[in-house]
Structure 1
Amino acid sequence: MASRMEVLKSAVERVLGDKVVSAKIALGELTIVCKSVNVTEAMTTLRDHPELAFEQCIDVCGMDYSTYQDQPQDGPRFAVVYHLLSLTHNTRLRVRVFAEDDDFPVVPSVVEIWNTANWFEREAFDLFGIIFEGHPDLRRILTDYGFVGHPFRKDFPLSGHVEMRYDAAQQRVIYQPVTIEPREITPRIIREENYGG
């Protein structure tokens, strides 16, 4: 007898057809990969088809696969991962969509399908620089509007580019280049002095 996840996998593959690039069950959860050009149609089908009925989008997050599992990524660098919930069937589904362009990652917005994706997509834009085409108000949500870069990208420097501080003379917040000198912190337990004879 097939498990619930195997039944869901076959249903998703049958209903979405060639929109599914791959489908995999791991750790009791189903993950499918869709092409970005098919996102709007695939997500609408996942929500509206009675056999699937994923009424809720419970999370959207960005991913930077430039060095996934300490290995260089062979393929697109950025992806968006959607976590969907069907209350009708009490099932969950993870949908991964890779952005076609690594320099200017763009994925269609799903805000028109699930309005809960609004702030999630803004967060992925702010932290990873992924553009959600068709988003009604795509702007930073966690970092300051003058912030330079996207801090969750793996090539973002650990100390950032600029720092912000209040200047009493100007009576306002100012930005200036980072003044912290880069240093390597070695945990005390493995410092040279602990290996003395």
Structure 2
Amino acid sequence: ALAEMIVRRMCEEIRQAIERVLDKLNASPVYTIKELLRDRTIRPQAVEIIGGPAASLSGYLGETLRLPVYCPIHHEIANAIGAALAKPTLEINLIADTEREKMSIPERGLYIPIDRTFNLREAEQFALSQVWEAGKALGLEEDRLDAEIVESSSFNMVKGYGGRVDRNIRVKAQIKPGLLEKLRKSD
């Protein structure tokens, strides 16, 4: 009875966590007319769970969520398989201040002088090259190094009445998440 009470409480905690995530996602701003016209509210129709206790929890979780709950074949090792197939993740954050004439990428231990003409396009190119170099250092093959800019901004800073404009530039770049290999059935 105590064990069942604990399992039911755990399922309730999971339900509440799912609701918080869905509330946050569904409350996110709409940026285009197309998104506004399309009902983009996320409403799960089913749940798939993995991990050692998945089969034992599926009934309780389905009852709590009022949704069908499925366990894939080999659910007990699915997370390990996913981790083994996933590309290593890597992210860098470039920060440049043209007033101070300095740029840094702390994740790479880089602190580099720049000139006042340094701009967002140059920062993005440099950030992508640093993600690529870091990926190579992790042992990723060149054809697996699919880098992308995740965030990019440049803010003008006006100094005094003379109107000298410097920039604060920030760029976040990463290796695109994905799989190194696809899981295939053996013959």
TM-score by length of 1: 0.19
TM-score by length of 2: 0.19
Higher RCO (CA < 8 A, seq sep 6+): 2
**Greater share of strand residues, 1 or 2?**
1
Q: Which has the larger radius of gyration?
A: 2
**Greater share of helix residues, 1 or 2?**
2
